[in-house]
């Protein structure tokens, strides 16, 4: 007997399968291309918040998801024995000018209120941080203690291992059984666009690189619009480009070289580090730019979880929770902005 069929074994499908299985559902996961074959098979893994101001449903949802991430990934690792490389080590951001410094200081106050004392947004002098601190024109950086890192590809492997322990394998094909959720990323958005005869979502290509550089348990850095993410295994990820127009979804080119140059300028310590992998993937972006969750717009009686765009890994624990609430219990807690109609 199967209670839930999950179509798609990216971070959305795997997380939903895991949460449903933990609640006692019998789950099957179907992906003709295998787990992590889509945008979830990458290397960056910055789980980072939006700025703490102008609070809205998306920011509140993301905040809760980032707080949920630690117990979520701890449980996954404890079950399957594979580490996703998760650690909440925070993030440093150089402050480039006086206006940025003023804003950052104002956000210290809004973060104290909006993040409910569960994480901080602090302005600190660079000499308070140590050698890992990126140079900053003002002499100050923002340190937020909410950001975490994990290794996307390993996070998928960790979920696959945990699901296997629960008797769930990822299979290339199987008929629908029980409740069905479509977490098929870009393919799912293209299917919707075809069905509705208009663009409901699209793909945004991203290129990223992995360096051999052991920063230890250092916070990630966001500088000059580049994520610099030290991983647990002595590597360091740098990303990403953001390309609406592309021909080859998996190639890397000089746009990635530019991202690498910006990272080296932002963190001179990285000069000379060996680039051990260059990778590209296509982020599934809904028209509304928000995750697309809920009842599927045309597969009658079925569900959809899509549109992770740039923050799919950060959102996954909370998305899995609200989708399991809906699929297993008929309990709908999905913010209105995330319903498919927001993009139709
Ligand atoms: C370069 C880059 C850097 C990124 N950095 C970050 C980051 O630092 N932090 C963060 O949170 N997010 C980041 N993201 C975004 C994140 O990777 C995505 O939001 C996330 O992977 C989306 O997950 P998904 O499961 O919806 O889609 P996908 O991972 O694309 O999964 C969809 C799955 O569906 C399968 N599929 C397709 N058709 C079918 C079908 N007919 N039946 C069954 N299965 C099917 C595919 O094989 C695939 O495995 C980044 C993305 C890129 C490209």
Tens of pLDDT along 160-186?
Answer: 999 999 999 999 999 999 999 999 999
Tell me, using a 6 A CB cutoff, whether residue 283 lines ligand 1. Answer: yes
Distance 280 CA to ligand 1 centre (A): 12
Q: CA torsion angle for 30, 31, 34, 40 (degrees, to 10)?
A: -110
Band of pLDDT at residue 13, cut at 50, 70 and 90? very high
pLDDT of 134 reads: 96
Distance 307 CA to ligand 1 centre (A): 9
Mean pLDDT over residues 60-72, rounded? 98
pLDDT of 250 reads: 97
CATH number at residue 171: 3.50.50.60
The total number of structural domains in the chain stands at 1
Task: Tell me the pLDDT tens digit for each residue of 283-330.
Answer: 999 999 999 999 999 999 999 999 999 999 999 999 999 999 999 999
In contact, 200 and 192? CB cutoff 8 Å? yes
Band of pLDDT at residue 244, cut at 50, 70 and 90? very high
Residue 309 counted as domain residue: yes
Which residue, 185, 158, 150, 239, is CA-closest to 32? 185
Distance 128 CA to ligand 1 centre (A): 37
Band of pLDDT at residue 257, cut at 50, 70 and 90? very high
Residue 113 counted as domain residue: no
Task: Tell me the pLDDT tens digit for each residue of 69-103.
Answer: 999 999 999 999 999 999 999 999 999 999 999 99
Distance 107 CA to ligand 1 centre (A): 31
3-class DSSP assignment, residue 180: strand
In contact, 131 and 125? CB cutoff 8 Å? no
Tell me, using a 6 A CB cutoff, whether residue 240 lines ligand 1. Answer: yes
Across the strands, what pairs with 262?
none
Band of pLDDT at residue 334, cut at 50, 70 and 90? very high
Residue 250 counted as domain residue: no
327: containing domain: 4-87+148-200+287-343
Q: In the chain, where do the E strands start and end? A: 4-7, 27-30, 46-47, 91-94, 121-125, 140-144, 148-149, 170-171, 179-182, 201-212, 220-223, 226-230, 235-239, 274-286, 292-295, 303-306
How far from 97 is each of 141, 189, 244, CA to CA, in Å?
11, 40, 30
Residue 297 counted as domain residue: yes
Cα–chain-centroid distance for residue 292?
14
Residue 246 counted as domain residue: no
Tell me, using a 6 A CB cutoff, whether residue 184 lines ligand 1. Answer: yes
pLDDT of 107 reads: 97
Residue 336 counted as domain residue: yes
Backbone dihedral region of 312: left (phi > 0), alpha (psi from -120 to 50 degrees) or beta? alpha
% of the chain exceeding 70 in pLDDT: 100
Tell me, using a 6 A CB cutoff, whether residue 281 lines ligand 1. Answer: yes
Residue 274 counted as domain residue: no
pTM of the model: 0.98
Tell me, using a 6 A CB cutoff, whether residue 317 lines ligand 1. Answer: no
Task: Tell me the pLDDT tens digit for each residue of 177-220.
Answer: 999 999 999 999 999 999 999 999 999 999 999 999 999 999 99
The residue whose C-alpha atom lies closest to atom 18 belonging to ligand 1 is 312
Residue 235 counted as domain residue: no
Residue 57 CB: number of other CB atoms within 10 A? 13
Band of pLDDT at residue 236, cut at 50, 70 and 90? very high
């Amino acid at each position: 007997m199967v209670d839930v069929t999950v179509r798609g074994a990216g971070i959305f499908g795997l997380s939903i399968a895991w949460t449903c299985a933990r609640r006692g559902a019998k789950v099957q996961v179907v992906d003709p291309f295998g787990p992590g074959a889509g945008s979830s098979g990458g290397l960056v893994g910055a789980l980072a918040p939006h700025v703490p101001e102008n609070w809205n449903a998306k920011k509140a949802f993301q905040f809760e998801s980032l707080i949920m991430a630690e117990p979520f990934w701890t449980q996954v690792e404890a079950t399957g024995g594979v580490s996703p490389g998760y650690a909440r080590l925070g993030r440093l951001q150089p402050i480039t000018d006086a206006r940025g410094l003023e804003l950052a200081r104002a956000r210290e106050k809004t973060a104290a209120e909006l993040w409910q004392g569960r994480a901080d947004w602090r302005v600190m002098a660079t000499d308070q941080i140590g050698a890992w601190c990126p140079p900053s024109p003002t002499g100050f950086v923002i340190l937020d203690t909410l950001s975490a890192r994990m290794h996307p590809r390993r996070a998928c492997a960790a979920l696959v291992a945990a699901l296997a322990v629960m008797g769930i394998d990822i299979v290339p094909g199987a008929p629908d059984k029980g409740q069905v959720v479509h977490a098929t990323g870009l393919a799912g958005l293209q299917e919707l666009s075809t069905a509705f005869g208009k663009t409901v979502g699209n793909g945004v290509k991203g290129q990223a690189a992995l360096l051999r550089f052991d920063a230890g348990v250092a916070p990630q850095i966001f500088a000059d619009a580049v994520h610099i993410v030290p991983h647990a295994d002595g590597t360091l990820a740098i990303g990403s480009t953001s390309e609406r127009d592309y021909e080859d979804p998996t190639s890397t080119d000089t746009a990635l070289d530019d991202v690498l140059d910006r990272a080296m300028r932002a963190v001179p310590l990285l000069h000379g580090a060996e680039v051990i992998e260059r990778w590209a993937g296509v982020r599934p972006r809904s028209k509304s730019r928000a995750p697309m969750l809920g009842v599927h717009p045309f597969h009658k009686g079925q569900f959809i979880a899509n549109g992770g765009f740039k923050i799919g890994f950060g959102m996954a624990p909370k998305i899995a929770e609200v989708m399991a609430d809906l699929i297993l219990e008929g309990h709908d807690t999905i913010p209105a902005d995330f319903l498919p109609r927001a993009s139709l």
